[in-house]
Structure 1
Amino acid sequence: MDYGDNNIDPNFESLFDGTNEGSNELIFSSRFLKNLAPNGFTQHCLPRVLGGYHLHNPLGSLVESFEFADGTPFSYVDTRYNAQDVGANRDPRLKYTVLYNGNTFKGVVYNNNPDDNTAQDRLTAGALQATRSGYCIKKFNTGYTGDVANTDTDIPVIRYAEVLLSYLEAKLENGEAINQALLDATINKVRSRASVNMPPVTAIDPATLRLILRRERRNELALEGIRYWDILRWGIGGQVLNGKFYGASYPGSQAVATRNGAANADPLNRSRWYVTSKAFRVGTDEKWPIPQTEQDINPNLR
């Protein structure tokens, strides 16, 4: 931050589509080279209609994390929520990050409606090469030009945006006084990039700011391999990795009603697709197991 060698790039999407790999927001990236050391991530994540395997799917909780465009938290009961276009009236990063039902992408309409038997990517229970949540990863996957298994799109590992958000978090958790100047030098620099242009954060109360900052990290750094480590660092696995998880909402869907049944009915009554259940064990699952071979060598590791 003091050197001034890095800044926040005005074009969020270009950081992940291979067109702006020289951006000085990108501090360190995993490099790929077409035909020699290609990136197959696109093939793994694109929908079937575009030649992908749909192996990784965002959960509904991520989509629900993105604020409305005026900076207020998302709510299904808000009149700005559009069930036919969940990205409407929302933080622009949602549309850059997640592909959802009804989007036109690469010249085709992405249709995963579970009630539409003609949809190539129809959401069903256990179908091969179909979304498991009703959502698809768009981030990293917009730059390919045909060969989905042979792209040269680099994957960012450290971005300057993460540095600024981490700096603010360190100040906050160290108990230091937060003022508007610090917010403007960190989180608001991230939110104000030209292609995002979200309202500035003004909260300086620690408890309020902590919630805003953690949501900002989730949204800005979504699908970049950081969220899990944030959860462990914050000690919130018992809250956010427990219970039932849902995907996209399909109002009035008979397929969703059949899939969920009474046992997994959407508690928000929004016909969200039931995906899975998790049971995070507090005190155990924060740690990774020590391999048995290592315990055999040193019994003190048990």
Structure 2
Amino acid sequence: MKTLNNTYIIKSLGVALLSTTLLVSACKKSFLDVDPQAQQPSSQFWTSADDATKAVNAIYANLRSWENVAFPALVIESVGSDEADKGSTPNDATFWNLYDTYTVTSTEGSLQSFWTGQYQNINLANQVITNIPAIEMDENLKARFIAEAKFLRALSYFRLVRAYGDVPLRISIPKDASEYNVPRAAKDQVYAQIEQDLTDAATVLPQNYPATDLGRATKGAALGLHAKVALYQKKWNDVLSLTNQVMGMGYALFPDYEKQFRTENENNSESVFEIQAELLPGNGPASNSQYSQVQGVAGVPGGGWGFNVPSTALSAAYEPNDPRRDATIIFRGEITPQRDTIPTTVPNPMYNQKSYVPFRLRVSNFNEGAQQNIRVLRYADILLMNAEAANELGDAGRALTSLNLVRARARGNNPLTVLPPVTATDQATLRNAIYKERQVELAMENDRYFDVIRQGRGLEVFGPKGWKANKNEVWPVPQQEIDLSGGLLTQNPGY
């Protein structure tokens, strides 16, 4: 369980006092648009260790904002895949269909919201990296704060470069008006900056924290995210080296696949990085996550809105008796392991079980499931990246070892006839087995869409839904950004 005290990173709303305004998007259904508390003029900030702590906490706080975890993130990172459908009712938030069918145009608002959310994070990180060095404070803590900011900046740039390709690269605070308007940097340049940030972070960040700082970026998180960035660039030697380092750091697969996603098991042995969230009565600004709310079971008290639901293709993707199917999908009419009855009358046949919070934990006047952390990187992903890199480098034995660890945990106490160990050593056959394992192990975790694209299988997998090669590898750049740049920013081909 999360430790509840004043220093815990999620309890501080953070600061919007920094030199640019922190914008918060609201949703008409349920979102408390509360002014940040305890603002200070920027001229009185950046003077103490306490200011530095608040500034770093502000980045973490923004990670769970609407733009980062709710509609904008889900339409950009999930619903375009074959594993997820829009959900809810046909006439509710119909713009989701534009992403599901790849017919979205550059003026659709969620493109802008997701872009804005990532650059908010980057702006907050840049202010930390720029201003904390001048503060008189403990040098070790100063270095750690800067490393945390670099990790979080890298995370947002990774999300941006996957979604839009070339993007403006901002690694410092603009000194004057001439530095505000910058062109898109080449994707390779963005990736190079991400890798530099993660390399810097990994040299400083600790492997573990005390309970009061649980959830902050660690050395393992920096190495693990770096491995994923390298995976997207097919730097197989780097992927193998980085994942091997993480595999030697004490992480372990959580014994029960389903239970690892419940709130009582957050930050467990498998967690490499999670976006922290908590529901604190009396503290609405710190309890603002809508990640679970927008995906929760619609039509039941304590449920949610019912968006981003598992597809029939996902349901059919699992091998016979794979326990992960029932641990990933809440089916209409079932009784959950937490004893919630799902009526046969709910609008959708399936819902995301990984974002599910038991209905009894709902607190009136707060978002459903606001206490649910968002899993960003799990040890199972590290093992599967290790398996993929080893296979691409011709080491089938190592690939099989890592792959079968993931399958063995999923199998649980079932006999070996359930999810039997993979034995194929042919590179192409093993590659497909690893791709399949990624699909079912990481289902509904906002990984599938860009995973398939970086594998070069977009047309094969998403073509039946309307996906087009040489266009839909990325989403359109928000038209508002192009307009604000005076045309300096350019649009992606095909849009």
Paired letter, 1:221: L
Asked if structure 1 preserves the Cα contact closer than 8 Å seen for 2:477 and 2:491, the reply is: no
Q: What is the aligned partner in structure 2 of residue 49 from structure 1?
A: 300
- Residue number in structure 1 paired with 2:469: 282
- Higher strand proportion, which one? 1
Shift of 1:95: 0.7
CA contact (8 A) 2:357 2:372 kept: no
Tell me which residue corresponds to 1:177. 395
Show the counterpart of 2:5: none
Q: Within 1, Cα distance between the matches of 2:457 and 2:253?
A: 29
What is aligned with 1:228? 449
- Tell me which residue corresponds to 2:356: 141
- Does 2:328 match 1:97? yes
Instruction: Please point out which of 332, 335, 342 is paired with 1:110.
Output: 342
Residues 404, 421 of structure 2: 8 Å contact kept? yes
What amino acid sits opposite 1:156 in the alignment? R
Normalising by structure 2, we get a TM-score of 0.43
Deviations 1:229-264 (A, max 9, x none): 111101111121122xxxxxxxxxxxxxxxxxxxxx
Aligned amino acid, residue 282 of structure 1 = A
Q: Distance in 2 between matches of 1:213 and 1:162?
A: 11
Over the aligned positions, Cα root-mean-square deviation in angstroms equals 2.5
1:1-302 to 2 correspondence within 5 Å? 1-2=244-245, 3-35=248-280, 36=283, 37-38=286-287, 39-47=289-297, 48-50=299-301, 51-68=303-320, 90-105=321-336, 107-112=339-344, 119=345, 121=346, 130-131=347-348, 134-143=349-358, 145-147=360-362, 149-174=368-393, 176-179=394-397, 181-184=398-401, 186-193=402-409, 196=412, 198-243=419-464, 278-291=465-478, 292-293=482-483, 294=485, 296-297=487-488
Pair 1:162–1:29, CA change in 2 (3 A): same
TM-score (normalised: structure 1): 0.68
Q: Unaligned regions of 5+ residues in structure 1, if any?
A: 69-89, 113-118, 122-129, 244-277
Q: Contact 2:476–2:492 at 8 Å: present in 1 too? A: no
Return the alpha-carbon distance in structure 2 between the equivalents of residues 5 and 289 of structure 1.
41
- More contact order relative to length (CA 8 Å, sep ≥ 6): 1
Equivalent residues, number: 227
Distance in 2 separating the partners of 1:142 and 1:150: 5
Q: Check whether the contact 2:387–2:400 (CA below 8 A) recurs between aligned residues.
A: yes
Q: Distance in 2 between matches of 1:15 and 1:107?
A: 17
Residue 43 of structure 2 corresponds to none
2:422 is paired with a residue of what secondary structure? coil
CA separation of 1:187/1:142 partners in 2, compared to 1, >3 Å: closer, same or farther?
Answer: farther
Please tell me whether the aligned partners of residues 293 and 368 of structure 2 are also in contact (alpha carbons under 8 angstroms): yes
Residue aligned with 2:309, SS:
coil
The corresponding residue for 2:155 is none
Question: Separation in 2 of the partners of 1:18 and 1:191?
Answer: 24
* Matched AA of 1:177: D
Q: Is the Cα–Cα contact under 8 Å of residues 12 and 195 in structure 1 kept in the other structure?
A: no
Instruction: Provide the rounded CA distance (Å) in 2 between the counterparts of 1:60 and 1:52.
Output: 21
Greater C-alpha radius of gyration:
2
Q: Which amino acid aligns with 2:342?
A: Y
Any idea what the Cα deviations from partners look like across 1:118-153, whole Å, max 9, x if unmatched?
Answer: x2x1xxxxxxxx22xx21111121455331625322
- Residues 29 and 154, structure 1, Cα contact 8 Å, conserved in 2: yes
Q: Kindly indicate whether the alpha-carbon contact (under 8 Å) linking 1:41 and 1:149 is maintained by their aligned counterparts in 2.
A: no
In structure 1, give the amino acid aligned to 2:300: V
**Quick check: 1:30–1:154 contact (8 Å CA) kept in 2?**
yes
* Amino acid corresponding to residue 304 of structure 2 in structure 1: G
Q: Distance between the aligned counterparts of 2:386 and 2:369, measured in 1?
A: 36
- CA deviations 1:78-134 (Å, max 9, x no partner) are xxxxxxxxxxxx20011110011331135454344xxxxxx2x1xxxxxxxx22xx2
Contact 2:322 2:411 in 1 (8 A): no
Secondary structure at the aligned position of 1:242 is classed as helix
Superposition deviation, residue 195 in structure 1: 6.2
Matched residue SS, 2:256: coil
Offset of 1:296 from its aligned partner?
Answer: 0.7
Distance change >3 Å, CA 295–CA 12, structure 1 → 2: farther
Of Structure 1 and Structure 2, the greater helix share is in 2
Letter in 2 for 1:46: G
AA aligned to 2:258 is E
Cα distance in 1 for partners of 2:369, 2:275 equals 15
Secondary structure of 1:139's aligned partner: coil
1:256 counterpart residue number: none
Structure 2 unmatched ranges of 5 or more = 1-243
Quick one: which amino acid aligns to residue 253 of structure 2?
Answer: I
Q: In structure 1, the residue corresponding to 2:360 is in which secondary structure?
A: coil
Maintained 8 Å contact 2:293/2:370: no
2:443 partner letter: A
Secondary structure of the equivalent of 2:264? coil
Q: Identify if the C-alpha distance between structure 1 residues 195 and 300 changes in structure 2 by more than 3 Å, giving closer, same or farther.
A: closer
